[in-house]
Structure 1
Amino acid sequence: MQTLKEKPIHLETHPALTVCGVAFDLTPEGAAWLAAERLLVVADLHLEKGSAYAARGQPLPPYDTRATLARLENLIARFRPRAVVALGDSFHDRAAASRMDASDAAHLTRLAKNLDWVWISGNHDPVPPREFGGTVMAELRLGPLTFRHEPRPAPAIGEIAGHLHPCAAVRVRGRRLRRRCYASDGTRMVLPAFGAYAGGLNVLDRAWDGLFPGLDFHAWMMGGRTVVPVAARRLEAD
């Protein structure tokens, strides 16, 4: 288990998290950058979640896809990756592509066609739509790492996953802060949901039982311009 200094880390320093000896730079937007492979990793975009809710009579502003793609494009422009890996649930449901605004669909197609893009299958999108390009895979192996959607019970050495939408809560000077986060014990990592409308599940929730034995992990909490590692023993449940 690596030793971490629990203090704010500014984006300009690209706070690094090591999984099985492989260093990832973490961004406060919720993407992980694997510089050695020029690989940008995101999880749970949930594109067209807003329109899915609207179809069920729960109207939400229909701009979540546009906002999510804009944030992703900004990261692509910053890091200039060779490849993007989307760790499943990139689309909120099987009909997401048919509801997508034409300009948003064209935007996504432009992004995907200019990169080696890997769509990992998720539980919301077991068969991601093909019209946007890229390669669909159940999981991707790269050296000691395995990129998949749903985390498996420990030990899952080298696993990079999404699905659980991790968030964490901590009390600072009497004020309770709750943020999306990365979760890692140095042997595996779960990424936060990247989608604009994606919620978060507290890393102390029972759904996390069996992933990180005991409290021997850190939540890398996202702020506006920082990512801060916080030991699990300091976190609060919801």
Structure 2
Amino acid sequence: MNGYAFPLAGTVLTARASGALWWEAERLLAVSDLHLGKADRLARRAGALLPPYDTHETLTRLAAEIEALAPRTVVCLGDSFDDDDAARDLPEPATDRLTALMAGSRWIWISGNHDPAPPDLGGTALAELALGPLRFRHIAEREAEGEVSGHYHPKMRRRLGGQSVARPCFLVDGRRAILPAFGAYTGGLATHAPVLDALMGADALAILTGPKALALPMRA
């Protein structure tokens, strides 16, 4: 399996190279910040024109994870849609594809700051999910334990192959895991940003996504 396994609150989780999180014992797949419909939202609000392929690319990557792992439960950790209009106005081919991906598993939508209204696409909409020793939510809380969240889109800049490259990454320590954005058109917050530095412990790892999951000290 192309991923990096780490312990959290008595569980073993795997940070997948794709940016998805896998909890083998529960057969649970978690992804964060899909931001489906972002190109359409930018065009609608600001007149910015981006190639309208972000939703297709994101769903293709998500489909690959579902096919590879056959999860029993899929948890989307908020900001699954770029705004509520994007959820309502998702093109029919994308809606059909998403509906097909949802079939056969328990699908949970965690509300985010971009998409607080529950999507009218089936599944279960929750503010957060408590399962065993873990709590799944969109935005990390400072004093939490056993927390899995997203929101910040962490990225780490490293020199790889002689080039400076910013790679989306997981941030993990003994108390929490913060997932990278899974969406195709998403920016990122540098791992040395003060808000991330304040949330993560001294021993925190950054697990870079890409061709292979690569774990490095967050404060390297």
Aligned-residue offset at 1:163: 0.3
The Cα offsets for residues 134-180 of structure 1, whole Å up to 9 and x where unpaired, read as 00001101111000000111x31100000000111234586433200
Residue in 2 that maps onto 1:208: 196
Q: CA deviation at 1:193?
A: 0.3
Name the CA shift for 1:116/1:206 in 2 (closer, same or farther; >3 Å): same
Q: Tell me if 1:197 matches 2:185.
A: yes
Q: Does the C-alpha gap of structure 1 residues 102 and 173 become closer, same or farther in structure 2, counting only changes over 3 Å?
A: closer
Deviation at 1:200, TM superposition (A): 1.0
Q: What displacement does 1:63 show?
A: 1.2
Q: 1:23 aligns with which of 12, 18, 30?
A: 12
CA distance in 2, matches of 1:209, 1:28: 23
| AA at the equivalent of 1:228 | L
Evaluate the alpha carbon distance shift between residue 171 and residue 140 of structure 1 in structure 2; reply closer, same or farther with a 3 A threshold.
same
Note the 1:17-166 alignment, pairs <5 A.
17-55=6-44, 56-130=46-120, 132-153=121-142, 155-166=143-154
The residue number in structure 1 matching 2:206 is: 219
Moved more, 21-30 or 135-144: 21-30
Cα displacement (A) at 1:219: 0.4
Superposition CA RMSD, Å: 1.5
In the TM superposition, residue 216 of structure 1 has moved relative to its aligned partner by 2.6
Using the aligned pairs only, state the percent identity: 45
Residue 230 of structure 1: aligned partner: 216
Correspondence for 1:4: none
Q: What is the alpha-carbon distance in structure 2 between the residues aligned to residue 97 and residue 232 of structure 1? A: 34
TM-score with structure 2 setting the length: 0.94
How far 1:92 moved relative to its partner?
Answer: 0.4
Return the alpha-carbon distance in structure 1 between the equivalents of residues 206 and 34 of structure 2.
20
Structure 2 residues without counterparts, runs of 5 or longer = none
SS in structure 1 of the partner of residue 195 of structure 2: helix
> What is the distance in 1 between the residues matched to 2:87 and 2:164?
38
Q: Distance in 1 between matches of 2:68 and 2:119?
A: 27
Counterpart contact for 1:23–1:34, Cα < 8 Å:
yes
- Inter-partner Cα distance in structure 2 for 1:181 and 1:199: 12
C-alpha contact 1:169 1:202 (8 A) present in aligned 2? yes
Alignment partner, residue 173 of structure 2:
185
Amino acid at match of 1:229: A
Output the amino acid matched with 1:204. Answer: H
Aligned 8 A contact 1:167 1:202 in 2: yes
Q: Provide Cα deviations, 1:42-91, integer angstroms capped at 9, x if missing partner.
A: 00000000100111200011111111111101110000000100000001
> Deviation digits for residues 179-222 of structure 1, max 9, x if unmatched?
00000112210000000101111111123242014x43110011
* TM-score, length basis structure 1: 0.87
Work out whether residues 94 and 127 of structure 1, in 8 Å CA contact, stay in contact via their aligned partners in 2: yes
